[in-house]
Amino acid sequence: MKIGIIGHAEDKFTEETKQKAVSLIRKILYDAARPVSAKVDVGVGQLEITKPTKEVILVSGRSPLGGIDVWAEEIALALDIETDIKAPKQNRWNAEYGYRQRNIDIAISSDILHVIVVEEYPPNYNGRRFPMCYHCNKSDHVKSGACWTAKQALALGKQVVWHIIRTNASIEAEQRANEEEFQRRQLEAEDDERKRQKEQEREEEEEEEQRRYEEESHLFLTIILDMKVHTND
């Protein structure tokens, strides 16, 4: 299986998000190439050995700006995984085997493509910032050329998996927001329950009042009828 791993250049990462990305790459490759125990017939019996679950080859692009491509290649070599590196011959988009053709080659060569991007720009990023990734038309991650490659892979019927690396601060902020939203909804639910109970009490009071009115009307009618009877007597 050829596993493509691509994503942002190194300047899009902080030390925190870099470590998260490296850990993710290691997990993707290790899980794909993890050896399993198997028994083989050696003529005089069976011998238990370990062997890879499948042949795994890393496909990546060796970006001159470092980042995901380079980290994936380094990790693959450390894990003794074969690599198929699509390094651009020229660092321009439309040049002969430049970024465009290199990206298409990655899309064609990969059986599955992992796109690793960050949620937000690092504070010290000095490059151009975009409000969204215009390749994906999404704002939940920073714009990346890897997403353009992913679109080519999808058009070829390949499986693509996006991984969005988030900072701890972002995750904690979301957790706080979720907790606040939960508390708000809980308060609204409690308020709705109080209103429901008050409405139920009001309806019960109206029903009780109606019952008393009917009883009093019945009693009054009974008295009137009795008086008529006595008058006739």
Could you tell me the pTM of the whole model?
Answer: 0.72
Domains of the chain, each with CATH number or no CATH: 2-36+49-166 (3.40.50.450)
Per-residue model confidence (pLDDT) at position 222: 82
- Mean pLDDT for 176-199 is 88
In the chain, % of residues over pLDDT 70: 89
Per-residue model confidence (pLDDT) at position 172: 83
In sequence order, the 6+-apart residues with CB closer than 8 A to the CB of 191 are: none
Helix (H) or strand (E) holding 99: helix 99-109
Structure tokens at 100: 């465009």
Q: What is the dihedral of CA 27, 22, 106, 157, to 10 degrees?
A: 40
Q: What is the pLDDT of residues 51-92, one digit of tens each?
A: 555 589 999 999 999 999 999 999 999 998 999 999 999 999
- Mean pLDDT for 36-53 is 57
pLDDT > 60? residue 36 = no
Structure tokens at 153: 């892979």
**Entry field: residues in the chain:** 233
Q: What is the pLDDT of residues 99-149, one digit of tens each?
A: 999 999 999 999 999 999 999 999 999 999 999 999 999 999 999 999 999
